[in-house]
A and B are shown apart, each in its own frame.
Chain A
Amino acid sequence: MSLIISSPHQHPANSVSRVMLSVVYALIPGCIAHVWFFGPGLLVNMSIAIAAALLTEAWILRLRRRPIKPALYDGSALVTAILFALTLPPLAPWWIPFVGIVFAMIFAKHLYGGLGQNPFNPAMVGYAMLLIAFPQEMTRWSVPQLPELHSLGWLDVLRHSFTGALPTGTGYDALTMATPLDHTKTQIALDQTVQAAHASYKFMGQIAGYGWEWINILFMFGGAWLIVRRIITWHIPAAMLCGLGLFALVAFLSAPATHASPLFHLFSGATMLGAFFIATDPVTAATTTRGRLIYGAGIGVLIYIIRYWGGYPDAVAFSVLLMNMAVPTIDYYTQPRVFGHKG
């Protein structure tokens, strides 16, 4: 490579760390809602995940004899850890976030060559691995923090995380439950109607599960802010939400008894987090404009298919990973028409 300093000779103040930090800021409202509705477990998981992610990254970089500081400061490991923690059940033993994120950093990021080289979204790889290996721990979602329920405080959560002990007089039965998506799915499998399933779920909100709808709305706002600030473009989130929404709408209109409403799907589970923060991970998403539309729509449709026909109640992780695989092909076939070339 030539050492001649080449134009351009000025740069605006843009950097990877600025991009990553903006993503972190945009996540804050949703995270607050998450803690508000489901307790401090998220923060415990997140702290463990962040610490483990940074340590793992530093350790691998040392093994690979790469400069450590710039990589830690770029913020990408931080974002991966936060997104990963957001997918975990709030009440989880410490080794769940630890094992998941270490696996993600090693196998999904650095074995491929580190930042920018990984085809699969590391946070989703970590989550998917845990879901397959430890289904029990991964499907125990906390009950909402409501006055009439026994909810856990800081210390209780920390103690549970590191010792597995729950406060006397409580058990997982009282503290955890299935998520609305999970519940609806099992009830439909038991030949119930969607309406009956929702009626039998204790904590429904206006459009989706209690708490879940707010978390989703706030992630949506955070994502919109990222679009306004031009950190991400609208294509992937819009395409993904349209894909999921339209598919759900058609299904709902054709068989309302067995298909939940599109709004329920859009504001349940990790839909908004996935649309604005996970599917938009630049490294693993399609890069062309048309490609992004296809990629996003593909994820949306896959989410619905897996949620309804597949074995998992939420489906963001698997849909994203599946579409990650298709990215090279999508990018190849959606190259823009170069200036001066025929269409």
Chain B
Amino acid sequence: MMPMKLGQFHGGLRLPGCKADSMLSPVTAAPIPPRLYVPLKQHIGAAAEPVIRIGDHVLKGQLLADSDSHVTAPVHAPTSGTVVEIVEHTVPHPSGMTAPCIVIETDGKDEWRPNLSAHSQYHLLSPNELRQIIRDAGIVGLGGAGFPAFLKLNPGQDKLVETLILNGAECEPYITCDAMLMQERARDILDGLHIMRHAVQARHCIIGIEDHNSAAIAAMQAALSKEEQKHISIIAIPTRYPTGGEKQLIKVLTNKEVPSHKLPIDIGVVCHNVGTAFAVADAVLRGIPLISRYVTITGGAIKTPQNLITQFGTPMAFLLDHCGLQRDKLSRLLMGGPMMGLQISDLQTPVIKTSNCLLALGPGEAGDTHPEMPCIRCGECARVCPAQLLPQQLYWWSRARDFDKVQDYNLFDCIECGCCAWVCPSHIPLVQYYRFAKTEIWQQERDKRKSDHARDRHEFRQLRMERKKREDEERKRKKKELLQRANAGKDETKKSAIDEALARVQAKKAQQQTESRNTDNLTPAQQKQIEAADARRANQTPADTTGDEGSEA
């Protein structure tokens, strides 16, 4: 390990870990449920479109759905079985909304698709080819947000990647899936890291792990060879929530701050989750697409808390029952941790790519339920805010619906970590107010964009009509000329025809060039847009976020 001075972020919390219970037994594979509900959208970006038909028999790892959109991720069959229907089914979402899911009646054989294309010689592949493989494997960020990984592995032209960070911090209480993965699959994670390093051409890699997690640190250290130590360092970082937040982790590990409204890549850093690295290794070295993940099942209402390798589409109830859910004790079911998790009200909601933890809180575990009191301006929220915001001002202006003021107080730098609401003695659901304000602002922007769009379309139409008129006249004129020339001499006609053909070819070429630039490498601006979409987290108004933003970015 390199001696290194760690950075520090402001505020944060020391939270009770509550992690030991789910780390007692080694990770096993969850049983296969009779039916899987595989959502077409388990990521940020456009929903994938089914490429199979109802009634088809599918094999494990077979492509189920894909999309032409740029920001998207394909979906594969987690096991073998028959596609019985494609229905609207509850998916993990703050509003408990439904979305299209492919329903597979499993056959229990768990039979793999033949001819998985493994690339053990990955370093012979170009970064672009690697990204394609990672995209086709449907890999998204497994740390929580679910942003397509291949996009985050594309630094863009003339961006040098100084540091590639693997996030093993897992700072939320209860969640242990990354810790277990590091303990059990350290070698695979390192393999994935090498592949990612090759894809972004990073100079140096850091794996950040919270210092309480000594077993994971030891396992990763043990797997790290002498040779690898030259460019990979494993760093134990102080346990403090939210040190696993991307910007916080970068600050701790590199002492650099990602500027507001910028991306890590703008300061030469790329950051991925350890689970994502593992999935990349699977995809590239073994040809296995992303169809399952480590999921922590824990909480006071669970008899045997543990981690299970779970196939996507498995109904949560099935998994919870397998771990001994005591329904009478269940006070609240969360996907994720207590600080940022999502409340799940329908137990049939399927596990998806971003489901790191199912937390079944028992009686009293959700803490007290005091009524909301007025803000007493105690400033506790500002003391703990890792983004150094003034949460109480944000609250004040969100409540007053003064959205300009909220943005003056940098609402969009809020990472929704929940530290402020955690400490607030008045029990104000602060984060809820911020989400409300953000949604409102996005809605306003969308409305504005829509009207701009309509105006643009109108102007474009006008333009097209004019052009058409011009072209018509031109054609008429040319015809006339041609007729005149035909009388003058045949040779000249031929020559002008050739000229015209040549010009056409050239024009087409030029057009192709611009087109290919549009779709090939993302410009930083575009990537930023995508990241903005990321931040939106497909969060609030589902109908709008499905296609719109993806195609735009």
Interface residues, chain A, with chain B CB atoms under 8 Å away: 1-2, 4-16, 18-19, 70, 74, 76, 114-117, 233, 282-285, 287-289, 292, 335-342
Q: Which of B217-225, B285-293, B333-341, B481-489 contacts A (4 or more CB under 8 A)?
A: B333-341
In the complex, which of the residues B377, B382, B418 contacts A7, with contact meaning CB atoms closer than 8 Å? B418
| Nearest chain B CB to A75 CB, angstrom units | 11
| Nearest chain A CB to B172 CB, angstrom units | 10
> Which B413-464 residues have C-beta < 8 A from chain A?
413, 416, 418, 421-427, 429, 431-433, 435-436, 439
* CB-nearest residue of chain A to B378: A282
| Nearest chain A CB to B272 CB, angstrom units | 20
Contacts of B365 in A (CB 8 A): 10
Q: How many B residues, CB 8 Å from partner?
A: 63
A-B contact pairs, 6 of them (CB 8 A): A5-B332, A9-B366, A15-B425, A16-B425, A74-B373, A283-B377
Contacts of A1 in B (CB 8 A): 432-433, 436
CA distance A133 to B10 in the complex (A): 48
The total number of A-B Cβ pairs within 8 Å is: 155
CA distance A151 to B262 in the complex (A): 72
Contacts of B439 in A (CB 8 A): 2
| Nearest chain B CB to A108 CB, angstrom units | 15
Indicate whether A16 sits within 8 Å of B390 (C-beta atoms), given known contacts A7-B340, A9-B361: no
> Which B249-283 residues have C-beta < 8 A from chain A?
251, 257-262
Interface residue B114 (Cβ < 8 Å from any Cβ of A): no
In the complex, which of the residues B260, B370, B374, B418 contacts A8, with contact meaning CB atoms closer than 8 Å? B418
| Nearest chain B CB to A335 CB, angstrom units | 6
Q: Are B382 and A288 in contact (CB under 8 A)?
A: yes
A-contact 0/1 string along B324-350, CB 8 Å cutoff: 000000001010101111110000000
Q: Are A2 and B388 in contact (CB under 8 A)?
A: no
Known: A1-B433, A283-B376, A339-B389. 11 other contacts (CB 8 A): A6-B429, A7-B341, A10-B367, A14-B424, A287-B377, A287-B392, A335-B409, A338-B388, A339-B10, A339-B388, A340-B387
Contacts of B95 in A (CB 8 A): 4
Indicate whether A10 sits within 8 Å of B422 (C-beta atoms), given known contacts A1-B436, A115-B373, A341-B260: yes
Contacts of A340 in B (CB 8 A): 247, 257-262, 387, 413
CA distance A287 to B424 in the complex (A): 14
In the complex, which of the residues B251, B340, B341, B413 contacts A338, with contact meaning CB atoms closer than 8 Å? B413
Q: Are B432 and A6 in contact (CB under 8 A)?
A: yes
Q: Are A339 and B376 in contact (CB under 8 A)?
A: no
Which of B95, B334, B378, B409 has the most chain A CB atoms closer than 10 A to its own CB? B378
| Nearest chain A CB to B539 CB, angstrom units | 10
Contacts of A12 in B (CB 8 A): 367, 422-423
Contacts of A337 in B (CB 8 A): 388
CA distance A342 to B388 in the complex (A): 12
Contacts of A13 in B (CB 8 A): 367-368
Contacts of B366 in A (CB 8 A): 9-10
Q: Are B257 and A14 in contact (CB under 8 A)?
A: no
> Which B366-399 residues have C-beta < 8 A from chain A?
366-368, 370-371, 373-379, 382-383, 386-390, 392
CA distance A74 to B425 in the complex (A): 11
| Nearest chain B CB to A57 CB, angstrom units | 13
> Which B219-258 residues have C-beta < 8 A from chain A?
247, 251, 257-258
Interface residue B128 (Cβ < 8 Å from any Cβ of A): no
Interface residue B9 (Cβ < 8 Å from any Cβ of A): yes
Which of B9, B334, B409 has the most chain A CB atoms closer than 10 A to its own CB? B334
| Nearest chain A CB to B271 CB, angstrom units | 15
Which of B173, B422, B427 has the most chain A CB atoms closer than 10 A to its own CB? B422
Contacts of B524 in A (CB 8 A): none
A-contact 0/1 string along B348-372, CB 8 Å cutoff: 0000000000000100011110110
CA distance A18 to B376 in the complex (A): 13
| Nearest chain B CB to A65 CB, angstrom units | 16
In the complex, which of the residues B262, B343, B390 contacts A287, with contact meaning CB atoms closer than 8 Å? B390
Contacts of B260 in A (CB 8 A): 338-341
Which of A74, A115, A287, A342 has the most chain B CB atoms closer than 10 A to its own CB? A287
CA distance A15 to B383 in the complex (A): 16
Contacts of B336 in A (CB 8 A): 7
* CB-nearest residue of chain A to B399: A1
Interface residue B546 (Cβ < 8 Å from any Cβ of A): no
Query: 8 shortest A-B CB distances, which residue pairs?
Result: A8-B418, A116-B374, A340-B260, A6-B432, A11-B367, A282-B378, A287-B379, A10-B367
